[in-house]
Structure 1
Amino acid sequence: MSEFYNNADLGPANMGQTFTNDLKNYLIQNSNLSVITDNGELQMDGEITDFRLTPIAPVATGDQGQFSNASSTRLTITIKVTYVNTLDETMSFKDKSFSFYQDFTNDQNFTDIEERLTKDIFARLVNDIYNASVANW
C-alpha cells in the first residue's frame, strides 16, 4: 500500500500519513491480509482531495440589510482511491471518490474539535473503502 497524499487545500499537514496509518491498521485488524509496500496481490493508493468547511443551518437576523449567520458548520473530507486486485481485475476500481462529513455547532472552536472530527470522518471513510475493496476478498 502506498501512502495517501494530502492534496487538499486545507487540513492538517500530517493528514495523509494519519489516514494511511488508519487504513493500514484497519486492514490488519479486520482481515488476514498482510500489508506490504510493493507487488501485493491487492494494491491501493490514493489522495485526500478535499477538506472543506461549509456553513449550514442559517439563522435569520430579521433585518434584510444584515447578513445571516450559520449556527452550524459541516466538515467534509473526500478521498480518491485506486484499488487493483491482481487476481480478479473485475473487482478493481480507479479514482473512486469516498466522502463523509461531520457537523458541529458554531459555538465550538473548530481548532479544539478538528482532531476529533477528522478522526471520526476517517473512521467512516476507512470502513467505506474497506467494504468497497477488501471485504469481498
Structure 2
Amino acid sequence: MYSFNGTNIDPAVRTISIGTIQNNAPTGPSFLTQRFTEDLKDYFQRNTSLKLVPRDGDLQFEGSIVAFDFAPAAIQTVNGVDQAGSNRLTIQVKIRFTNTKDDKQSFEQLFQSFDDYPGGQNIATINSDPTAVRRTTTKIITDIFNKSVANW
C-alpha cells in the first residue's frame, strides 16, 4: 500500500472508471449530471495517480443524484408573517463503488450535503451561480473520495 494525498491505494490498483452520475432528482438543474460527473473525475485525477479509463477500471463508480431539495431552513416572523430566514439546498447522491482488487472495500452508500442561503435568494438565482451548487457537490465528492480511497 502507498499513500498519496491521504489515500490508501493498493499498488495493484492502477485504473479508475467513473460512469455518468445521472440526475434522477425531479427538481435538479439540467447541468447537474455533467457537472457532477466531470467534477468527480477531476477530483480523482488531481488527488491520485490512477489512470481514468472509460469502463472496467480497477476502481469503478456508478450512481445517481437522487435528491435536489430547496426548502426553508429557518422560519422567522416579520410583521406577523412567517417567512424563510434562510433556505437550504440539500443534495443526495447514491454511489455504488466497486474495488475489483479487494471486494471487501466495495460499497453502496447515500451521500448527502447541504448549504444555507439567505431567505430572499431563490433556487433560480442559486442554479445560475456557477459556484453555488458546486459548493454543495464538492463536499459530497470529497466524502466519496474519502470513503473509497482514503479509508476515512
Q: TM-score, normalised by structure 2?
A: 0.81
Q: Find the aligned partners of 2:58 and 2:30 in 1 and give their Cα distance.
A: 31
For 1:124, the equivalent position in structure 2 comes to: 139
Identity %: 35
Structure 1 position 39, deviation (Å): 1.4
Letter in 2 for 1:57: A
Q: In structure 2, what is the Cα distance between the partners aligned to 1:87 and 1:42?
A: 8
Listed one character per residue, the Cα deviations across residues 13-34 of structure 1 (whole Å, up to 9, x for unaligned) are 1211110000000000000111
TM-score by length of 1: 0.89
Q: Which amino acid aligns with 1:68?
A: D
For structure 2, the residue ranges without an aligned partner over 5 or more in a row are 1-17
Aligned residue number for residue 25 of structure 1: 42
Q: CA deviation at 1:62?
A: 6.7
Does the CA-based 8 Å contact 2:70-2:123 persist in structure 1?
no
Over 4 Å off, 4+ runs: none
From 53, 60, 71, the counterpart of 2:85: 71
Helix, strand or coil at the partner of 1:26: helix
2:125 is aligned with 1:112: yes
SS in structure 2 of the partner of residue 68 of structure 1: strand
Q: Gaps (5+ residues) in structure 1?
A: none
The residue number in structure 1 matching 2:94 is 80
Report how far residue 109 of structure 1 moved: 4.1
Cα distance in 2, alignment partners of residues 61 and 112 from structure 1? 23
Report how many aligned residue pairs link the two structures.
132
**Partner residue, 1:14:** 31
- Please state how far the C-alpha of 1:125 moved relative to its aligned partner: 0.8
User: Partner of 1:49 in structure 2?
Assistant: 66
Q: Distance in 2 between matches of 1:43 and 1:19?
A: 16
